[in-house]
Amino acid sequence: MNVRLLLFASVRDLAGCDVLDFDLPAGSTIGELRRELVTRLPELAAISPHLMFAVDTEYATDATAIGPAAEVACIPPVSGG
């Protein structure tokens, strides 16, 4: 299945784009997508454990399954006060 991943802030800057497409097996999880993202962008390895993901506007865990028409977003950690 094709998964379109929306990127924001520092992840978008590192990727050089605001959307990445992944071809994943049906029933893939956020954890599998996270691994594929780091494979494609190894510079994200250090912050990968801190990246948040949302599926259809709901925060998701690594165990969350991705549906075939889901909107998936990657949200990097933020700093500030």
- What are the residue ranges spanned by the domains of the chain? 7-67
Contact in structure between 80 and 65 (CB atoms under 8 Å)? no
Distance CA 2, CA 33 (A): 11
Query: Both tokens of residue 31?
Result: 């954890």
Q: Which tens digit of pLDDT belongs to each residue from 7-23?
A: 999 999 999 999 999 99
pLDDT in tens, the chain (81 residues): 999 999 999 999 999 999 999 999 999 999 999 999 999 999 999 999 999 999 999 999 999 999 998 999 999 988 765
Distance CA 63, CA 66 (A): 9
Buried b (16+ CB within 10 A) or exposed e, 57-76: eeebeeebebeeeeebbbbb
Q: Which CATH architecture has domain 7-67?
A: Roll (3.10)
